[in-house]
Amino acid sequence: MRIKPSDSLLLVIDLQGRLLPAIDDGETVLANAAWMVDVAQAIGVPVLATEQYPQGLGLTEPGLRARFPDGSIVQKTHFSALTEGVLLQSREAGRKQWVVVGTEAHVCVQQTVLDRLAMGRQVFVVEDAVGSRRPRDKERALQRMQQNGAEIVTREMVAFEWLEQANTPVFRDVLKRFIR
């Protein structure tokens, strides 16, 4: 199945200042997630984010946090972003396709993805925009999420599926700003 912009939501999980330095290749994960946010916003795909226990892990990385409108970042203490129910109260959360980026792949990302799949929704995990402290944990998490029905994709796969066609003003804008 293809990822449709009208059906999609981009969920950014726990890209927080105190956690990112511990993430394997965390700078790349952050850069790719920020790229996804920028592309989603250019195309008109809604974006939500979570922060895991910000008192301990800090807020979302400031450069990324600045990209989000007020009220689009949800604080949580459970590892799954769905357990506390606050995220699901957003009207955008009802979209049937969730594209997911963030950390840690084997903890909060995985538990959120598994819970969303259990709700009968389609989930796409952006491999180059998720991370864990240890590469093996990320590898196994991606494998487990895929075995349970998530599709593992890359950032450009998502961008081009959201764009759907060439020769539109949005395509030209995204191509010029983000892909070339």
The predicted pLDDT at position 85 comes to 86
> What strands lie across the sheet with 97-103, from one edge to the other?
73-76, 47-52, 8-13, 97-103, 122-131, 151-153
First to last CA, the chain: 26
Report which residue type is found at 55: Q
Q: Which residues contact 72 (CB under 8 A, 6 or more apart)?
A: 47, 48, 49, 90
The predicted pLDDT at position 180 comes to 74
Q: What is the pLDDT of residues 71-96, one digit of tens each?
A: 899 999 999 999 998 888 888 889 99
> Would you say residue 14 has pLDDT above 90?
yes
Alpha carbons 133 and 103: distance in angstroms, whole number: 9
The predicted pLDDT at position 24 comes to 98
Is the pTM higher than 0.95? The answer reads yes
H-only helix segments in 7-134:
26-43, 54-57, 62-65, 110-118
Q: Tell me if 46 sits within 8 A of 95, measured CB to CB.
A: yes
Nearest to 107 by CA among 65, 140, 62: 140
Which 8-state DSSP code applies to residue 106?
A: I
Q: Which residues contact 163 (CB under 8 A, 6 or more apart)?
A: 5, 43, 170, 171, 174
Number of H helices, E strands in the chain: 7, 6
The predicted pLDDT at position 92 comes to 87
Q: Which domains does the chain have, with CATH numbers?
A: 8-179 (3.40.50.850)
